[in-house]
Structure 1
Amino acid sequence: MNTATPPLQGFPDSAEGWLARLLSPECNASDHAAFEGWLAMSSQNALDYAEVERIHQLAGALRADPTLHGAEPRPTARMQTTRRKRTWLRPLAWAAILMLAVSGGFWMLADVRDAKPTRYATEIGKQRHVELPDGSALVLDTNTLVQVAYEHSRRHVVLLRGRMQASVAHDGNRPFVVTSGVGSVRALGTVFQVERQDGNTVVALLEGRVIVDTNGNQPSHAIELHPLQQLAYDADGALGSPRSVDRSVAESWTRGRLVFKEERLADLIAVFNRYSHEQLILSGSELGEIRVSGVFNAGDQSGLLATLRQGWGLQAKPVAGDRIELSSSKQ
């Protein structure tokens, strides 16, 4: 286990130490607050603790397993003497069982065994709701592809393209990890979104707690997001700074609506183009700086064009290659 993180004064500095502290009858509110602070110091701390907790629960399950405790006859005096002689062997036996559990000898105790990854996809202009076996749920936006795998130590989703929202069922033994590009998002039970476009990834947290970690060409580091925050990282793993996000805007696409508040026209068009084979283009880069606010049905390209014509005087005309060019009427 990694214990390189500087310890909090007077508190444990390892995952094993924290498990013992939290299980102690003397554990109080200040201990829990310090524990949360230790988790926030490093994403590795959270991963280490989840693994230690998993091993502890495996040991508890083994101790309670009736198949490991055969029925015994009523002890005679001779049997009691023999039992006293062998009492010292029990800790060693349980230690051996625990080692087997850690090394995978008791893999059958896992709720879900490692399985072949399953892929879920959406076509352009379509969305999909996916109910996962562990009780979690995904909403996949247009032209999205994900790969889901259940492993012994984690539930792993790879976002290959597009945008998804995850509502995660809590499982302290198997964290929920979404990988996109060179980064990953780790959660135990929460609601968050991950979007991957042109090599960049945007993570938005709606509820709970997630840790965003990257390990690309930049030095590996992690940032914890708080509810209603989002951040982005690029193809090299460089993390941006967290900024606030409006939940109604962030979740609008999951209900088939697109909400824009003073959005650059260039960015708005990029979003709309995901929902249609006909791609909108601008006749000049200066048009991309126009700020637009409005609520549209996802994929309602004609509604958007009507709004741009009425509100900003932009004209649309088809051009080669299934494209529609927007230009100013003043040109």
Structure 2
Amino acid sequence: MSDSPLPAADIPMTEHSQSLEDAALEWQVLLHSGNATAAQRMAYQQWRQTSPAHAAAAQEAQQLWGDLGQTRAAEQHRAATATGSWRGWPALVASLVLAVASGVGWWQWPALTSDYHTAVGQQQHITLADGSRVTLNSGSALSVAYSAGERRVILQSGEALFEPVADPQRPFVVQADAQYLHSAASAFSLRRDGSRLTVVVREGQVQFTGDHAPVLLQADQRLQYQSGQPLLAQQAVDAASLTAWQRGKLIFNGRPLGEVIGELERYQHGRILISDSQLAALAISGVFDLHDPQGSLQALQQRYPLQVTYLPWLAVLH
């Protein structure tokens, strides 16, 4: 894009663009930002007419933008675009990294204030001072606050599987904001998605307390809690499947593609988007290796009627 007639400050990235495809995406982001000037729109038309390759890249980027426009992630992305300033954004906007960034760095602050943390795609097996075990899932953070009368751990972000050792004198308590899980010898997981908590009990029983009536959860039960909303009833589930991530696997049986992709996305940097709601509802079954998200996408492409288009930090299913 160094052949553009406008100064670098008035257009998307110039000499920093790595390819025509990246440059074309930069233009789409700018043109749909609500901040594009008449001069910039004219410069775009000149840019796309530079060569047949420029025209082809522009057409592909325009088509991709149209496909992304049907997804919830794209709506959020455009909302951020409309309220921001183009000149203040980092160069990675070129490949829709504004959509990516929300999923890449969200855990960094909890990581700085925690005793244990994992990066995206990483897991950590922890043995606490009393012998209790914790498996920390991708992009998670945990702090330990043991005292003489209580063994408390605080899940600051992400997900963890807990296997506490029984000790009648010192109860084992997992805290997430103002909610608490009390357990003896058992195995259970807790996941935090913003203000939403999901508890899955694999073995034993767990008591869930907080700003609601206490609930006792048994093995093969799941409970979901949303701050400010009524507490939902327990669900009967296959807890071994739901906690298979501890063994490096994700197991799905007739689950919507949108849900499957949402899980796979947790284990990789970047975003995975689905082009339309009909495809997102496609029922998926299978066992996937969570350490190989790209291989999982290839497996989906082989088994189901969909295609995957790869861009920097972005994969689109269509």
Question: What TM-score, normalized to structure 2?
Answer: 0.62
Structure with higher Rg: it is 1
What is the aligned counterpart of 2:317 among 318, 321, 326? 326
Q: Which runs of 4+ in 1 moved over 3 A?
A: none
1-structure distance, mates of 2:297, 2:116: 32
| 2:141 is the alignment partner of 1:145 | yes
Partner of 1:85: none
Partner of 2:296: 304
SS in 1 for 2:173: strand
2-structure distance, mates of 1:129, 1:148: 14
**Conservation of the 8 A alpha-carbon contact between 1:183 and 1:237:** no
Partner of 2:279: 287
Aligned amino acid, residue 187 of structure 2: V
Cα drift, residue 244 of structure 1: 1.3
2-structure distance, mates of 1:265, 1:198: 22
Cα drift, residue 118 of structure 1: 6.2
What is the aligned counterpart of 1:265 among 241, 257, 263? 257
Aligned amino acid, residue 322 of structure 1: W
Cα drift, residue 227 of structure 1: 1.1
Cα drift, residue 235 of structure 1: 2.2
Cα drift, residue 266 of structure 1: 0.9
**Conservation of the 8 A alpha-carbon contact between 2:219 and 2:239:** no
- Structure possessing the higher relative contact order (Cα contacts under 8 Å, 6 or more residues apart): 2
Aligned amino acid, residue 185 of structure 1: L
Deviations 1:30-75 (A, max 9, x none): xxxxxxxxxxxxxxxxxxxxxxxxxxxxxxxxxxxxxxxxxxxxxx
What percent identity do the matched residue pairs reach? 30
| 2:131 is the alignment partner of 1:135 | yes
Partner of 1:278: 270
Partner of 1:173: 169
Deviations 1:243-286 (A, max 9, x none): 11213302311111111111111111111111100210011122
- CA RMSD, aligned part only? 1.7
**Conservation of the 8 A alpha-carbon contact between 1:214 and 1:238:** no
**Conservation of the 8 A alpha-carbon contact between 1:282 and 1:288:** yes
Cα drift, residue 182 of structure 1: 3.4
Partner of 2:96: none
**Conservation of the 8 A alpha-carbon contact between 1:181 and 1:201:** no
Cα drift, residue 236 of structure 1: 2.1
| 2:225 is the alignment partner of 1:221 | no
Partner of 1:14: none
The change in CA–CA distance for 1:271 and 1:206 in structure 2 (over 3 A counts) is same
Question: What TM-score, normalized to structure 1?
Answer: 0.59
Aligned amino acid, residue 225 of structure 1: L
Aligned amino acid, residue 223 of structure 2: L
What pairs with 1:4-83 in structure 2 (closer than 5 Å)? none
| 2:234 is the alignment partner of 1:239 | no
SS in 1 for 2:301: helix
Aligned amino acid, residue 274 of structure 1: R
Cα drift, residue 308 of structure 1: 2.1
Cα drift, residue 190 of structure 1: 1.3
SS in 1 for 2:261: helix
**Conservation of the 8 A alpha-carbon contact between 1:141 and 1:164:** yes
| 2:201 is the alignment partner of 1:210 | no
Deviations 1:156-187 (A, max 9, x none): 11111111111111111111111123321111
Moved more, 193-202 or 305-314: 305-314
Partner of 1:158: 154
2-structure distance, mates of 1:317, 1:278: 13
Deviations 1:141-162 (A, max 9, x none): 1111011110233111111111
2-structure distance, mates of 1:206, 1:248: 6
Aligned amino acid, residue 242 of structure 1: Q
Aligned amino acid, residue 157 of structure 2: R
**Conservation of the 8 A alpha-carbon contact between 1:225 and 1:242:** yes
Deviations 1:6-47 (A, max 9, x none): xxxxxxxxxxxxxxxxxxxxxxxxxxxxxxxxxxxxxxxxxx
Consecutive unaligned residues in structure 1, runs of 5 or more? 1-116
